[in-house]
A = this chain, B = another copy of it.
């Protein structure tokens, strides 16, 4: 006979799956787009065997699904709610763990912890887009941009930023975004573009959060 504790133990499987930095890295990568084991291994600096083991752990916990496509096995998140779950996990951690704040300010520069002071919120961005007063810049690699991006966003991967300045407007504010709150690419882009005289701020979320909120993507 099943007991309440059996249920909680099964629930704990899902918690356990979230209890490893490597698995969270895999989930964050999968929030950008589905991908093969090899791609995921490269993106997270894991060996292929190890990545495969972690992905199976995630699959047993119901967080990802796998389908074979030719020679490759493609993994994807089972659900948009996984992104919501990770966002909530992040918010709880940021509110309650001093360690998180310390790491965030180290990673993003201590003058402006988290870059939150000058970041654009979702509501602000939506208002700006409605008015036509901002241009959206996606600084992720082309591959991830193609798998899905915010409406009307221009894609200039960070590597190629300085070679494609012509594509950027000088008469409107630019809002740059990337993979999500822990991704440094948009910070970097803002810094470099400001030195070149552009009016630019960063979006305080990333593509996965936008999509999970049910907002339109292209």
In the assembled complex, which residues on chain B have CB atoms less than 8 Å from the CB atom of A20? Answer: 12, 15-16
Interface residue? A217 (CB, 8 A): no
Contact of A16 among B11, B16, B102, B184 (CB under 8 A): B16
In the complex, how many angstroms separate the beta carbon of A2 from the nearest chain B beta carbon?
4
A103-111, A122-130, A144-152, A193-201: which lies at the interface: A103-111
Bound Cα distance from A105 to B37, whole angstroms:
35
Residue of B nearest to A15 (CB): B18
- Please list 27 pairs of residues, one from A and one from B, whose beta carbons are closer than 8 Å in the complex, sorted by A's number: A4-B183, A4-B184, A6-B103, A6-B107, A7-B103, A8-B22, A8-B25, A9-B21, A10-B100, A12-B18, A12-B19, A12-B21, A12-B23, A13-B19, A15-B16, A15-B19, A16-B16, A16-B19, A16-B20, A62-B92, A62-B95, A78-B96, A79-B95, A81-B91, A81-B92, A82-B92, A88-B88
Contact of A106 among B1, B97, B107, B182 (CB under 8 A): B1
Interfacial residues, chain A to chain B (CB-CB below 8 A): 1-25, 28, 61-63, 78-79, 81-82, 84-85, 88-93, 95-97, 99-100, 102-104, 106-107, 182-184
In the assembled complex, which residues on chain B have CB atoms less than 8 Å from the CB atom of A96? Answer: 61-63, 78-79
> How many monomers of this chain does the complex have?
2
In the complex, how many angstroms separate the beta carbon of A90 from the nearest chain B beta carbon?
6
Bound Cα distance from A97 to B10, whole angstroms:
9
Q: Flag if B8 contacts A21 (CB, 8 Å).
A: yes
